Structure 1
Amino acid sequence: MIRILLAEDEDAMRTYLARALENAGYEVVSVDRGTAALPLLEEQHFDLLLSDIVMPEMDGIELAQRCAEVSPETKVMFITGFAAVTLKANREAPQARVLSKPFHLKDLVMEVERVFGLQNSARI
């Protein structure tokens, strides 16, 4: 089973995204900040880091850079509501996909499937 570490500081959004991904068949561990995600990346295996970009303490871009150091096999995908932040993410973490808010949950699941080369394997 594909394991996803979700880092999202907004409680309602984090719950919403985790539930959608779990319903699509993924195992999800969710945290409310990058500083909470980093020790998990060091201690456990995750196939994907799904992170908001704008978060307190450690933004998603810094988290992705640290992830590349401690868990280089973990793929990275960003979610953000800020267009300018999307441009920065593309420059500083070019291997990461960026999904801009608002998005439909089907779009999120489809992007995760693309990251892993899956097609129509999971649906909400």
Structure 2
Amino acid sequence: MIRILLAEDDEAMRVYLQGALQNAGYSVVAVDCGTAAIPHLMNDDIDLLLTDIVMPEMDGIELAQQCAKISPMTRIMFITGFAAVSLRAGREAPQAKVLSKPFHLRDLVMEVRRAFNVPEHASV
């Protein structure tokens, strides 16, 4: 089963995304900030880091850079509500997909499937 680490500081969004990804068949660990994600990257077998870019303490770009060092096989995907931040992420972060808010949950699930080359109608 694909394991996703979700880092999102907005509680409502975090709960919403976690539930949608779990309903799609993924195992999801959700944290509220980048610093809380680091121990999971070090100790858990994480396949995908799904992180908001704008967060307190450690932003998603810095988290992605740490992820690339700690767990280089972990894929990275950003979510953001700020277009300018998404441009910055493309220049400063390891290779990653950027989803701009608002997005439809089916688009998120589709992008996760694409990241792992899972056919659209296959179970995960």
Same fold, judged at TM 0.5 (above) = yes
1:13 matched to which residue of 2?
13
More displaced 10-residue stretch of structure 1: 85-94 or 97-106: 85-94
Task: Show the 5 A alignment for 1:81-120.
Answer: 81-120=81-120
More displaced 10-residue stretch of structure 1: 85-94 or 114-123: 114-123
In 2, distance between residues paired with 1:113 and 1:40? 22
Runs of 4+ in 1 over 6 A off after TM superposition: none
1:45 matched to which residue of 2?
45
Q: Percent identity?
A: 70
Q: How many residue pairs end up in the alignment?
A: 123
Q: TM-score, normalised by structure 1?
A: 0.96
In 2, distance between residues paired with 1:62 and 1:119? 31
2:74 matched to which residue of 1?
74
Report the CA distance between 1:28 and its aligned residue: 0.1
Q: TM-score, normalised by structure 2?
A: 0.96
Report the CA distance between 1:118 and its aligned residue: 1.0
Report the CA distance between 1:122 and its aligned residue: 5.1
Cα RMSD of the aligned pairs, angstroms, is 1.2
Could you give the per-residue CA deviations for residues 1-25 of structure 1, whole angstroms, max 9, x where no partner exists? Answer: 0000000000000000000000000
1:29 matched to which residue of 2?
29
8 Å CA contact retained: 2:9, 2:33: yes
Which residues of structure 2 form unaligned runs of 5+? Answer: none
Instruction: Name the aligned partner's letter for residue 62 of structure 1.
Output: E
1:54 matched to which residue of 2?
54
